[in-house]
Amino acid sequence: MPIAPITLLFGVHAHQPVGNFPAVIDDAHARCYGMFIRVMERYPDFRFSVHFSGWLLDYLLEKFPADMVRLAAMTRRGQVEWFGSGDCEPVLAAIPQRDRITQINTLSDKISRHFGVRPKGAWLTERVWESSVVSALTATGIQYVAVDDYHFLCAGADATKLNSFYTTEDDGQRLDLFPINEAARYRLPFSSAAEAVAWLEDLARQGRHAAIYFDDIEKFGIWPETYAWVYEQKWLTQFIEGVLASPLIRTDTYANYHAHEKTRGIVYLPTTSYIEMNEWTLPAPQASVYHALLETEKAAGRFEAHKAFLRGGIWRNFMSRYPEANWMHKRMLDVSQRLADLPTAQRTAEMQEHLHRAQANDAYWHGLFGGLYLPHLRRAVWRNLLLLEADLERILPSPALACRDIDSDGRDEITLRNGKLLAIIRKDGDAALAEFSSLALAHNFGDTLRRHAESYHQKIDAGKQKKVGADEATALQGGRAKDAALQTWDSASRAGLLAVADGETAATEKNGISSAHDRIAFIHDISPADAMPDPRPRGIAIDTLIADGARHALDHYRPGDTPAGFIAEGDGWRMEKHYTLHGDTLEIAYRLTGEATNTCQVETQLNLAMPSCDGFGGRYILADGSIPGGFGQTLTLTGLSQITLADSELDGGAVHLTAVPPAPTFSGQPHYTVSQSEAGFEKVMQAVCLTLRWSTPGEWQRITLKTISAA
């Protein structure tokens, strides 16, 4: 009996975070997007599907119109199908229903306008599935989405039958679901083209109806080693030609397949994402336990049988794991509600776009790819939130003083506003600023990140023990330094093995390359001490009392007699702390009194998020106009009365700090965190940490932060 060919449903997802550097996107286009499009253009019989997030699509349409014209032509000839989603790539489950609908419609309208088709399928950001998203998808004309086969396995599905689409429903609204083949995700493009084609042919011999693939296009040129592998060594060309030459494989779009096939039946999926995400979202101790459990199951040969029942956390856990992500998320929800409350006639398209951009997923989470640790991505979220907030304030000003629990952590925050500045103080023991935002600069100077414990930090020692020299790395890469940042390979990579997530291993390096999941690399020289978690938050106005040479954290403030005032007391001393806004200036006033204060000193730490970080654009300016250094350097001064922090990324803006009386001791130093990306371990500057030490018993010590906008 003849073997029926298998249908390859091949889809790629292209995304760049809102706020990413233009040079990064240009490089991504040069090494991946443009190359991929031009190769595929040569093979009109190879049908495939694409998803470009709306913010990236806008950029490519403006900067690389020729390649977008190619995509449009490929669309017209039926080779390319477009998938929709939220315009700025939000996790749909994490934003309100009203915003899900506007996000999806915005991207669908954009695709229709430029490419002449309206998507019937949608890409789910990070494949985060919650049944609550069904109604928004169906309301916007979406008929099907692609999720991982892992989602189906977690619902008890038979893995051998996950080769077509199924149907789910929520509140009577029906949506079809395509299960993405995990083995395909880890084979393409990491195993050789010949092996990938042979694997697809073997699936056809097994009677599989479809091979469903949808994954990041960045694997085809941006991930370490992939540009040389996919284009210079012609993996993509060989794969396409091998597929087209095979009598056992045919290609099709999801739309055409969906139109001609019937659903395999009803299914209800649990709340989940891909299996790696379920590990990343767990707190470090639990993530280590979970990872060890997975490794034990793999070693015992039980992983494939048990992995559906070895579930970790869910994507929303990032909000409970990282207070900084939670704060940003809850502020976004508040501003979204304020926009929704405006009469329709007063809302503008620009306001809606600011909200959509503030909902971009990348800065809200962290894993091998998430961007919470990247200040420029968080800054993009805050910039759009504050631009929208400034518009809202002009139309309907908020009260000058408010007190409520904004972030649902069980403790109220005090909000001070005056039309120019927004200062939000946590009513907890530290009584520090959770947010200090300038509406004129559209910047939150409180947007920093503490050093968090991460389960992957335990790899630092192991990785440094395995470190290989640059010459060895070059030799292992075939005489070409494919990635200048790559300094260290893990033992599996050095042995030329490719670890595949489904427990299989590919052949030697000549038949494949390593996935980013399987490498330990170092971009910067990092020690375990660099990754030690912060014992206290990295806020603005974190205070310490120094008495008899001992340091005592002032972490037991209670509300004082004024709306934004606090009091801390101890044996023979009393500290008062007050916040006030005056135009474009925030004042933090302290008074230390008591019989035991003559030998005491107070240390106040101000962690200010300056957008240039340790780049060339950030610098200190002294009262005499001299520049003692940049934010990436350590600065120590005595008798400081004023200093300016100037930052070119603020378009001529700056922060001017004064201390009255002058602070006897002042220091500034960069605050770094250690994180892991697909390129390796890196140190990222999060804030300028300013420390003022002073002793004025019985007198008010006043520290002011004046925000300066360009003239």
Cβ burial of 624 (10 Å; 0-12, 13-18, 19+) is: exposed
**Residue 84 — φ and ψ, nearest 5°?**
-95, -170
**Residue 407 — φ and ψ, nearest 5°?**
-100, 10
Q: Which of 599, 596, 593, 600 is nearest to 698 (CA)?
A: 593
Contact between 697 and 679 under an 8 Å Cβ cutoff? The reply is no
- Give 692's strand partners: 604, 666
For the question of residue 216 being annotated catalytic, the response is yes
* Eight-class DSSP state of 120: S
Query: Could you give the count of Cα atoms lying within 13 Å of 667 in the half-sphere of its Cβ?
Result: 9
Contact between 227 and 482 under an 8 Å Cβ cutoff? The reply is yes
Residues 6+ positions from 305 with CB-CB distance below 8 Å: none
413/251 Cα distance (integer angstroms): 56
606/573 Cα distance (integer angstroms): 23
For the question of residue 603 being annotated catalytic, the response is no
Contact between 12 and 48 under an 8 Å Cβ cutoff? The reply is yes
Residues 6+ positions from 93 with CB-CB distance below 8 Å: 128, 129, 130, 132, 133, 271, 315, 316
Q: Find the catalytic residue in 99, 126, 413, 430.
A: 126
Q: Name the token pair of 168.
A: 């789910």
Strand, helix or coil at 2? coil
Q: Which of 243, 221, 186 is nearest to 32 (CA)?
A: 221
706/328 Cα distance (integer angstroms): 23
Compute, in degrees rounded to 10, the torsion defined by CA atoms 139, 253, 53, 145: 40
C-alpha 664, offset from chain centre: 40
461/458 Cα distance (integer angstroms): 7
Q: Name the token pair of 492.
A: 């599996």
- Give 582's strand partners: 585
Strand, helix or coil at 170? strand
* Eight-class DSSP state of 522: B
Q: Name the token pair of 574.
A: 């009393």
168/267 Cα distance (integer angstroms): 5
Query: In this structure, which amino acid lies at residue 387?
Result: L
Contact between 351 and 331 under an 8 Å Cβ cutoff? The reply is no
Q: Find the catalytic residue in 216, 261, 614, 699.
A: 216
Q: Name the token pair of 311.
A: 């579930």
Q: Which of 159, 26, 148, 171 is nearest to 97 (CA)?
A: 171
Residues 6+ positions from 624 with CB-CB distance below 8 Å: none
**Catalytically annotated residues:** 126, 216
